[in-house]
Amino acid sequence: MLASDYQELRRIIYDRSGITLGENKQQMLSCRLARRLRELGFASEREYLRFLTSPDGESEVDAMLEAVTTNVTSFFRESAHFDHLTGQLHEIAGKGSNRIRIWCAAASTGQEPYTLAIVVDEVMRALNRKLDARILSTDLSTEVLAVAHEATYQEKDLAPIAQQIRARQFEPVVSGSQRLFRVVERTRSLVTLARLNLAKPPFPMKGPFDAVFCRNVMIYFDDIVRGRLLDEIHRVLGPEGLLYVGHSEGLTGWDHKFERLAPSVYRKIT
């Protein structure tokens, strides 16, 4: 890939998604775009770039972003966050509130929002009480949102989930010769999936949310995009709402309106 082509692709990716690629990511980008070049019949990144920036290439920009973005996820990833959230939900319910609203800012293929839904459903089971609970889960990628909508996973994907919870929260389904597992409708119905570009505020939702999970996302953004995103999260969180970020994404050194409660857990302050 020519250096000039890489710089132009970096610019397009940043402008459309807020993702910042470093100077040393040229080989990585070339590898990730190789499949798109083969599928479309382009012999070089230069030909692909010409198409991408032409009127006919507008829809290909989304496909390029699908190829570039990383979607690493699992059920109960960084599990301490879900233990903390469980305690917070019991506290909210203990105060007599029946309303729970959570935003998962990076749905990926669905493991994180459905983990949140499982946590909420298990809390309702423990309380023996129905809560007015809703989980909004967003992502830039329509491809991963389609997978999340199916809510169907291989048995190995369920490994982090305790057997008793697994039995309550998943039902076996047959797909050809494969034995798969789908999140039960009761829990699945708590989640609403939608496409959202985190780099393009203001966001359409008003909140207020009790908690926002924005984990392992901001590491891809520069300070300008991070700052705008934090401002929007602060706006949509309710009073003393909680922000959960990835364990490698502490807010130290950033200008923000949150106080630290626990590792990578913050509370909104005004």
Set 5, 77, 121, 139: catalytic member: 139
Radius of gyration of the chain (CA): 20
Set 32, 134, 166, 182: catalytic member: 32
CA dihedral 5, 8, 13, 16 (to 10 degrees): -150
Is-catalytic flag, 32?
A: yes
- The token duo for 265 is 């857990």
Is-catalytic flag, 62?
A: no
105, 214 contact by CB (below 8 A): yes
HSE-up (13 A, CA, CB side) for residue 163: 0
Q: What amino acid positions are annotated as catalytic residues?
A: 32, 139
